[in-house]
Structure 1
Amino acid sequence: MCRLFAITSETPLSPMVAMEAMDVMREGHDGSGVGLFLRDLSGPFEEMKDAPILSGIFSEAGIKRLDRHMMDLGFMTKYRISIKVPKVPPEGTPRRDLYLIRAYEYPEEWDILSQADKEDRLVQIRLELRRMGEAEEDMIVFSFWPDVIMIKEIGDPMTIARYLGFDRKELHARIIMAQGRQNTNYAINLYACHPFFLQGFASMTNGENTAFVPIREYLSSRGVQGYGGYQSDSEVFTHILHYTVRRLGLTVETYKHVITPLQDRTIEGHPDGAFLKQLKHSCRRLTIDGPNCVIGCLPDHTLFMVQDRKKLRPGVVGGKPGRWAFSSEICGLDAAIPDRDKSRDFQPMHLDTTIVAPDRQEIDICSQTAPLHQPR
């Protein structure tokens, strides 16, 4: 199993908060890798919320190719963090030339584009860069999106955090998602490392998606750029979320009905039974098979956790007004928010969607048996 941790806070936090939570859960991951997702950034990025930020790992040759490509597209560097590391990496971690986080000015000709066109073009550029990097093995690109930073690497989470300097103030953020992975493959591909991200939607999963193949085939047939890659069977959770909210215009609580629909006899007596029956039929190829615990983030900074029917992967939510955390284990919550009211911690069951809204004031719990759009 992997271990997951996410936190949303009114006050910007260091990624080390997540790494410390991951460290106390180390018995649940094998130290084979870490993925970090930062959003609602502070520090130097506070005043450039609309600037697209490129996150990735580059060789010296890759940086040169990146610079040429971005200049040809009309992008100019606005701010950057270049993480140069010691020549000798931790044991098991590949030697890298440069970890790059770079914010760009949009090309002038983008001023006339709609927001939707801008977002589609950002995805297109990220995919172009990924293909360039895979061809020459000189760049790994994790994200290209405003107000988002992603860092992934092979190795023990805390060791990597110290090695890359996660404690630097430029990386402070109000939303942090982190995964300590357990390698279930013979070779580790960083594109298989959670969290995953597409156009403002992010997710990470602890579990196994045994329905991966039909889900991948369905998503790949939708004609949506970005629905691809799939080095991990869990990446489809992000794309199903994107599809549910962006393409179908539904809510995060409906996402739960898409991936784990109610049984037919329960749908018959549901207040929204007619809609849910149609949704189950239309999206039947997006039904997952677990066990899976999923933590996700929406473009508006909502965080949520869901479980599938098997409920065989741990997950708990707790905190206090202004700061809430989602964790695979309670000890992760204890490390991050020790002064919370622990009696209010909540462990979602298979019918629950546990949500913390952007105001970060409370936990909402939506049951699949309740009318839609009515948290209890």
Structure 2
Amino acid sequence: MCRLFALTSRDPVSPMRAIDALNVMKEGHDGSGVGLFLSGLGGAFEELKEYPVLSGIFTEPGLARVFEYMADKGFRSKYSVMFKPDSEPPTGTPKRGTYASIAYKIPKEWGARTQEEIDRGLVQMRLDLRAMGEESGGIMVFSFWRDTIMIKEVGDPMAIGEYLRLGRKELHARHIMAQGRQNTNYAIDLYACHPFFIEGISTMTNGENTAFLPIREYLMSRGVTGYQGYQSDSEVLTHIAHFTTKKLGLDISSYKHVITPMSDEEMAGHQDREFLSNLKRSCRKLIIDGPNCIIGCLPDGSMFMAQDRKKLRPGVVGGNPELGIYGFSSEICGLNAAIPERDRTQDFQPMHLDTAIVGPDCREVLQCSQKDPLRPQR
């Protein structure tokens, strides 16, 4: 099993706060890796919110190829945070090149494109760079998107946090997701490390998705740029969240109606029964089999947690609305470590019908049940 911890805050905080929570939950994960998703960035990146940020790990020749590719596309860098460790890596961590996050200005030539076309173009560029790296080495790209940084590495989360100096001010963010475990079911591959990301949507999962193969086949048949790769059975859960919100136009509270629809008996008295029945039938190939606890973040900074029907992976949400900070944790002890100053009687542990949502204002935990009326569609 792995462990998950996420923070959402009105003010930027250090990623080490999430890493510390993972460390408290260390008995529940194997310390084989860490993945970080950061959005709502602070520091210099806060002034560049409309500039997509390229995040990854690069050798010197790899960076040269990236710079050449970006220049050919008309993209010019505006700000970068590059870190090349000068010490020996922790035990089990490979010695690599430069960990970089580079903000780029979109070329004027893209001005005639619609937002959807721009977004699709950014996804395709990330895929191009990933393919270049897989072919020749020296390039690993985890995200290329506005107001977003992703960092992944093999090794103990706390040791990696110290090695990469993840507490640096330029990495502080309002929305942080951290997962403590590499992909140990198969060969280690950083592209298999949670969290996963597409077009401003990121999720991470504690569990196992045994319905992975039919879901993957269905998603890949949709013709959506970015529905590919799938080094982990959990990556499809990110893409289903994208499909639910971006393609179906539904609110994230409807995510569970797609991945874990109610039975016909449970639906019988629901005021939206006809719509939910049609949704269940049309999206039946996206139904997951668990157990899974899913934590995710949306483009507007809203963060959510959902369980599948087996409810065999723990999860809890709690925080302090006065301080404007909430945590999403695999275990209570992680939440206690990160946000001790909270009313613990208000902690919420989602059950199999629930979705917990905290908006970017960090004022409350919205508790949504699949038995509730559907929220308005976009």
Q: Scaled by the length of structure 1, what TM-score is found?
A: 0.98
Counterpart of 2:109 in structure 1: which amino acid? Answer: E
Q: What are the within-5 Å matches in structure 2 for residues 343-358 of structure 1? A: 343-358=345-360
Check whether the contact 2:6–2:175 (CA below 8 A) recurs between aligned residues. Answer: yes
- Take 1:38 and 1:249, find their aligned partners in 2: how far apart are those partners? 25
Report the alpha carbon displacement of residue 217 of structure 1 after superposing the two structures with TM: 0.4
Residue segments in structure 1 that go unaligned for 5+ positions in a row = none
Q: What are the within-5 Å matches in structure 2 for residues 143-158 of structure 1? A: 143-158=143-158
User: Residue 46 of structure 1: SS of its match in structure 2?
Assistant: helix
- Take 2:313 and 2:57, find their aligned partners in 1: how far apart are those partners? 31
Moved more, 107-116 or 91-100: 107-116
User: Residue 240 of structure 2: SS of its match in structure 1?
Assistant: helix
- Take 2:217 and 2:360, find their aligned partners in 1: how far apart are those partners? 33
Query: What is the aligned counterpart of 2:362 among 354, 357, 360?
Result: 360
Counterpart of 2:14 in structure 1: which amino acid? Answer: S
Check whether the contact 1:87–1:95 (CA below 8 A) recurs between aligned residues. Answer: no
Counterpart of 2:95 in structure 1: which amino acid? Answer: R
Counterpart of 2:35 in structure 1: which amino acid? Answer: G
1:369 aligns with 2:336: no
Report the alpha carbon displacement of residue 303 of structure 1 after superposing the two structures with TM: 0.5
Moved more, 266-275 or 278-287: 266-275
Q: What are the within-5 Å matches in structure 2 for residues 43-62 of structure 1? A: 43-62=43-62
1:330 aligns with 2:332: yes
- Take 1:274 and 1:265, find their aligned partners in 2: how far apart are those partners? 13
Q: Name the residue aligned to 1:70.
A: 70
What fraction of aligned residue pairs are identical, expressed as a percent?
Answer: 64
Q: Name the residue aligned to 1:26.
A: 26
Check whether the contact 2:183–2:189 (CA below 8 A) recurs between aligned residues. Answer: no
1:2 and 1:182, CA in 2 relative to 1: closer, same or farther beyond 3 A? farther
- Take 2:374 and 2:156, find their aligned partners in 1: how far apart are those partners? 41
Q: Name the residue aligned to 1:16.
A: 16
Q: Name the residue aligned to 2:7.
A: 7
- Take 1:10 and 1:126, find their aligned partners in 2: how far apart are those partners? 29
1:282 aligns with 2:282: yes
Report the alpha carbon displacement of residue 86 of structure 1 after superposing the two structures with TM: 2.4
- Take 1:164 and 1:359, find their aligned partners in 2: how far apart are those partners? 30
- Take 1:187 and 1:137, find their aligned partners in 2: how far apart are those partners? 17
Report the alpha carbon displacement of residue 182 of structure 1 after superposing the two structures with TM: 5.2
Check whether the contact 1:305–1:355 (CA below 8 A) recurs between aligned residues. Answer: yes
Check whether the contact 1:85–1:164 (CA below 8 A) recurs between aligned residues. Answer: yes
- Take 2:86 and 2:185, find their aligned partners in 1: how far apart are those partners? 28
Q: Name the residue aligned to 1:270.
A: 270
- Take 2:241 and 2:186, find their aligned partners in 1: how far apart are those partners? 28
- Take 2:352 and 2:101, find their aligned partners in 1: how far apart are those partners? 38
Q: Name the residue aligned to 1:217.
A: 217
Check whether the contact 1:259–1:288 (CA below 8 A) recurs between aligned residues. Answer: yes
- Take 1:11 and 1:43, find their aligned partners in 2: how far apart are those partners? 11
The count of residues paired between Structure 1 and Structure 2 equals 374
Q: Name the residue aligned to 1:233.
A: 233
1:197 aligns with 2:183: no
User: Residue 349 of structure 2: SS of its match in structure 1?
Assistant: coil
RMSD of aligned residue pairs (Cα, Å)? 1.0
User: Residue 47 of structure 1: SS of its match in structure 2?
Assistant: helix
Moved more, 41-50 or 101-110: 101-110
Check whether the contact 1:59–1:96 (CA below 8 A) recurs between aligned residues. Answer: yes
Check whether the contact 1:293–1:315 (CA below 8 A) recurs between aligned residues. Answer: yes
Report the alpha carbon displacement of residue 107 of structure 1 after superposing the two structures with TM: 1.2
User: Residue 300 of structure 1: SS of its match in structure 2?
Assistant: coil
User: Residue 160 of structure 1: SS of its match in structure 2?
Assistant: helix
- Take 2:186 and 2:282, find their aligned partners in 1: how far apart are those partners? 36
Runs of 4+ in structure 1 over 2 Å off? 182-186
Report the alpha carbon displacement of residue 264 of structure 1 after superposing the two structures with TM: 1.0
Report the alpha carbon displacement of residue 299 of structure 1 after superposing the two structures with TM: 0.9
User: Residue 140 of structure 1: SS of its match in structure 2?
Assistant: strand
Cα deviation digits, residues 81-125 of structure 1 (max 9, x gap): 111102521110011011111011111211222211111100010
Residue segments in structure 2 that go unaligned for 5+ positions in a row = none
Q: Name the residue aligned to 1:340.
A: 342
Cα deviation digits, residues 194-213 of structure 1 (max 9, x gap): 00010011100000000000
Check whether the contact 1:30–1:183 (CA below 8 A) recurs between aligned residues. Answer: no
Check whether the contact 2:50–2:146 (CA below 8 A) recurs between aligned residues. Answer: yes
Report the alpha carbon displacement of residue 269 of structure 1 after superposing the two structures with TM: 1.6
- Take 1:280 and 1:33, find their aligned partners in 2: how far apart are those partners? 36
Q: Scaled by the length of structure 2, what TM-score is found?
A: 0.97
Check whether the contact 2:244–2:250 (CA below 8 A) recurs between aligned residues. Answer: yes
- Take 1:93 and 1:24, find their aligned partners in 2: how far apart are those partners? 21
Report the alpha carbon displacement of residue 128 of structure 1 after superposing the two structures with TM: 0.2
Check whether the contact 2:183–2:192 (CA below 8 A) recurs between aligned residues. Answer: no
Q: Name the residue aligned to 1:119.
A: 119
Cα deviation digits, residues 223-254 of structure 1 (max 9, x gap): 00100100000000010000011001111111
Check whether the contact 1:41–1:148 (CA below 8 A) recurs between aligned residues. Answer: yes
User: Residue 280 of structure 1: SS of its match in structure 2?
Assistant: helix
- Take 2:114 and 2:271, find their aligned partners in 1: how far apart are those partners? 38
- Take 1:315 and 1:97, find their aligned partners in 2: how far apart are those partners? 36
